[in-house]
């Protein structure tokens, strides 16, 4: 039995090295998801009001998933170093759960992407119609228009039927050059057309979603299926360790 046991040692060492490397990458992925979730919550929170009428749970899901992956990654490193088969099998179960969660999330996002666009149209149109320049949704509308260089839902004429237009005209966030805009011009439908962005925000956002959905789906599924690599390594290492311990008896 001794020669065969000696043959399994290099295999165990190689698998341990690969699993440690994988666990470290897995842990880094968790840190990234955790950071993205927190960034989404604190930096993108107001903009999420334009996608849904109720607070989004997406940042909490990302933060929770990231935190779980960080813990699982640390457990994976510990299990690999300790070399206990039951710990390695438990780690494989954890990875399988993460795989299923990410796979379901990726499929759901891809399948319901059209509903996301419809919800955005409804929420953004309502935000434009009720714009007052002060509340969170209004500030989010201003932020979108400034960053994307767009105006209104389909174009600047969307503002003509808003409650804000009779009072102050089109918001200054639509202006190509703010210094060249004044309230009188922005209340004049003819002059305003020469001073504001022509393209609507809805088309820009939808175009971005459609052009990047393939990339987002590919990355999501790629990360999800990478968990299977970890499951395979953990199961193989557990098997080799079990075989080695059996041969020593």
**Which of 205 and 176 is assigned the larger pLDDT?**
176
Q: How does DSSP classify residue 195?
A: T
3-state secondary structure 122-182: HHHHHHHHCCCCCCHHHHHHHHHHHHHCCCCCCCHHHHHHCCCHHHHCCCHHHECCHHHCC
DSSP state letters, 77-133: HHHHHHT-HHHHHHHHHHHHHHHHHHHHHHHHHHHTHHHHHHHHHHHHHHHHHT--S
**Number of C-beta neighbours around residue 3 at 10 A:** 6
The predicted structure's pLDDT at residue 246: 47
Average pLDDT over residues 202-225: 75
Interval 108-128 mean pLDDT: 78
pTM: 0.68
Indicate if the pLDDT at residue 6 is higher than 60.
no
How many domains does the chain fold into? 1
- What Cα–Cα distance (Å) separates residue 40 from each residue in 48, 49, 116, 220? 9, 12, 17, 17
142-160 mean pLDDT: 90
Backbone phi and psi for residue 211, each to the nearest 5 degrees, phi listed first: -75, -25
DSSP classification of residue 55: -
Q: What length does the chain have?
A: 249
**Radius of gyration for the alpha carbons in the chain, expressed in angstroms and rounded:** 27
Query: For 32-41, 150-159, 173-182, which range has the lowest pLDDT when averaged over its residues?
Result: 32-41
Q: What is the mean pLDDT of residues 40-45?
A: 69
Average pLDDT of span 78-98? 88
- The domain in which residue 181 lies consists of 3-247
Q: Which of 52, 207, 201, 59 is nearest to 115 (CA)?
A: 52
pLDDT of residue 1: 45
Taking the C-alpha atoms of residue 18 and residue 163, their distance in angstroms, rounded to an integer, is 62
What is the three-class DSSP state of 196? strand
pLDDT at 151: 93
Q: At what angle do helices 113-129 and 85-111 cross, to 10 degrees?
A: 60
What mean pLDDT, rounded, does the chain reach? Answer: 81
> How large is the average pLDDT for residues 184-210?
85
Any idea of the CA torsion for 134, 52, 56, 199, to the nearest 10 degrees?
-70
Per-residue model confidence (pLDDT) at position 213? 66
- The pLDDT score that the predictor gives to residue 2 is 46
Q: Is the pLDDT of residue 4 over 60?
A: no
**Residue 249 confidence (pLDDT):** 44
In this structure, what is the dihedral angle of CA atoms 181, 195, 176, 204, given to the nearest 10 degrees?
130
């Amino acid at each position: 039995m001794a020669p065969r046991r000696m043959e399994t040692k290099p295999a165990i060492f190689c698998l341990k090295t690969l699993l440690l490397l994988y666990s470290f990458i897995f842990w880094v992925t968790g840190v990234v998801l955790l950071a993205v979730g927190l960034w989404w919550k604190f930096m993108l929170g107001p903009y999420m009001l334009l996608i849904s009428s109720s607070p989004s749970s997406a940042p909490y899901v990302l933060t929770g998933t990231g935190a779980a992956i960080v813990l699982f990654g640390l457990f994976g490193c510990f299990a690999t170093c300790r070399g206990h088969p039951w710990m390695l099998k438990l780690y494989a179960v954890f990875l399988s759960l993460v795989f299923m969660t990410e796979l379901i999330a990726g499929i759901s996002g891809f399948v319901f992407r059209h509903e996301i666009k419809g919800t955005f149209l409804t929420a953004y149109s309502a935000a434009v119609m009720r714009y007052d320049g002060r509340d969170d949704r209004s500030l989010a509308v201003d932020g979108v228009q400034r960053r994307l260089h767009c105006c209104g839902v389909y174009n600047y004429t969307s503002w003509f039927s808003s409650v804000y237009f009779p009072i102050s005209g089109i918001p200054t966030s639509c202006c190509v050059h703010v210094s060249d805009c004044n309230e009188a011009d922005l209340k004049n439908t003819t002059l305003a057309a020469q001073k504001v962005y022509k393209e609507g925000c809805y088309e820009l956002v939808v175009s971005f979603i459609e052009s990047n959905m393939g990339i987002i789906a590919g990355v999501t599924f790629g990360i999800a299926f990478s968990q299977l690599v970890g499951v395979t390594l953990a199961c193989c290492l557990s098997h080799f360790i079990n075989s080695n311990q059996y041969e020593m008896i």
